[in-house]
Amino acid sequence: MKLLSSFLMTFMACAVMADKPIAIVIHGGAGTIERSQLSAEKEAAIKKDLNQALNTGYAALEAGQDAMEAVVAAIMILENSENFNAGKGAVYTREKGHELDASIMRGSDLQAGAVAGVKYTKNPILAARAVMLHSPHVMLAGAGADAFSKARGLDQVENSYFDTEARFEAWKKVDEKTRQKGRKEAAVSDVLDHEFKFGTVGAVAIDRQGHIVAGTSTGGMTYKAWGRIGDSPVIGAGTYADDRSCGISATGHGEYFIRYAVAHDICARVLYQGKSLAQAADEVINQTLKSVGGDGGIIGMDPQGRPVMMFNTAGMYRGFKTSDETYVAIYGDEKVAD
């Protein structure tokens, strides 16, 4: 009898576990992404990367791995691709180098890790996870963050590993404009406002246990100077996760996302105002941010495993995978089927 009841309990626990929906949602940056700017080959290459990231992350969830594994696996694929402004393919700083930011947060216990301004860590998302799992801190920056990731045995590369021709061309354009304007700081921020290209990457996943994890990785903004750090490694701005409300990864003009604490604001509206994630995201992205000129978007996941993608720019590289749908899109007019 005892054996039978323990068998039944295990069976019921498994059934409950199997019922929890798994899902993953990703982005590869939001911005002025229009059809006229992307060749068919480039578009296909970007969609291939997005699909690979989704499939890899989802396969991890299906295999019973936790949302942390899924998010890291998906982000690493995008970091290793030249098509995105994260890892290989990161934008250039004013000094013609690369400084990378990343963060990750776990919704089950609000643990988080982040690195800012790393120069030699091949996959910054791994360093962010290591900070969370193997240090008493939440954020490490600069040389110390690289030294920590090296000490943890993570792959280190020369800074030139992150070089790509396309990003250098973007640097040259901004440099020329800045020189024309006499390199005044007002001019730099003016150029940044209008010329910066997005391409940050992020992922949010929910696993069979119902735990949500969100992660973000970026090269920041073209021509950034003086150790400028954006929202991506800032918990509450570019990344947030709380199993009770939602997980969010943002992309856009980081200064606005920091000042409006975008990722946390969206989750707070869900938690305290009982709003749906879609409504909360719409309010913050399309009302609050839009009204002040904060360009960008977010991806998010609610505790029921429903992905949300919201942006106030012309496009956002994005996609999600659930048990019954895989969706990948770039432009603003590509709607999710009802």
| Residue 200 beta carbon to ligand ASP: minimum distance, rounded to whole angstroms | 3
Tell the smallest beta-carbon distance from residue 305 to ligand ASP (Å). 25
Residue 103 sits in the site that holds ligand ASP (CB under 6 A)? no
In the complex, the smallest distance separating the C-beta of residue 32 from ligand ASP, rounded to whole angstroms, is 11
Asked if 29 is part of the footprint of ligand ASP (rule: CB under 6 A), the reply reads: yes
Q: Looking at 204-212, 246-254, 260-268, 270-278, which segment touches ligand ASP (CB under 6 A)?
A: 246-254
Judged by CB, which is closer to ligand ASP: 221, or 309? Answer: 221
Q: Does 230 bind ligand ASP (CB under 6 A)?
A: yes
Q: Binding site annotation covers 228?
A: yes
DSSP letter for each residue of 32-49: S--GGGS-HHHHHHHHHH
220 is in an annotated binding site: no
Confirm or deny that 252 is annotated as ligand binding. Answer: yes
At residue 258's C-alpha, the angle toward residues 257 and 263, to 5°, is 60
DSSP H helices in 21-123: 40-62, 67-79
Asked if 87 is part of the footprint of ligand ASP (rule: CB under 6 A), the reply reads no
Are 88 and 79 within 8 A, CB to CB?
yes
Catalytic annotation on 32? no
Which residue is it, tokens 């495993």?
A: 305
Does 230 belong to an annotated binding site?
yes
- Candidate residues 87, 117, 215, 252; the one interacting with ligand ASP per rule CB under 6 A: 252
**What stretches of the chain show up as alpha helix (H) in DSSP?**
2-19, 40-62, 67-79, 124-134, 142-151, 165-180, 185-195, 254-259, 262-273, 277-282, 290-292
Among 57, 210, 254, 294, binds ligand ASP (CB under 6 A): 254
Residue 327 binds ligand ASP, judged by CB under 6 A: no
Tell which one of 198, 317, 320, 327 touches ligand ASP (CB under 6 A). 198
**Cβ 251 to ligand ASP shortest distance, Å:** 3
| Nearest Cα residue to 89 out of 71, 77, 74 | 77
Calculate Rg over the CA atoms of the chain: 20
Residue 218 touches ligand ASP, criterion: CB under 6 A: yes
Q: Closest by alpha carbon to 279, among 235, 246, 236, 256? A: 246
Q: Which is nearer to ligand ASP, 178 or 217 (CB)?
A: 217
229 DSSP assignment? -
DSSP structure string for 280-326 = HHHIIIIIIIHHHT--EEEEEE-TTS-EEEEESSSEEEEEEE-SS-E
User: Considering beta carbons, is residue 10 or 37 the nearer one to ligand ASP?
Assistant: 37
Question: Which strand ranges, in their side-by-side order, compose the sheet holding 326-331?
Answer: 139-141, 111-118, 100-106, 212-218, 201-206, 23-31, 315-321, 326-331
294 touches ligand ASP by CB under 6 A: no
Counting residues that bind ligand ASP (by CB under 6 A) gives: 15
Annotated binding-site ranges for substrate: 228-231, 251-254
Which residues are known catalytic residues?
200
Residues in contact with ligand ASP by CB under 6 A are: 29, 85, 198-200, 218, 220-221, 230-232, 238, 251-252, 254
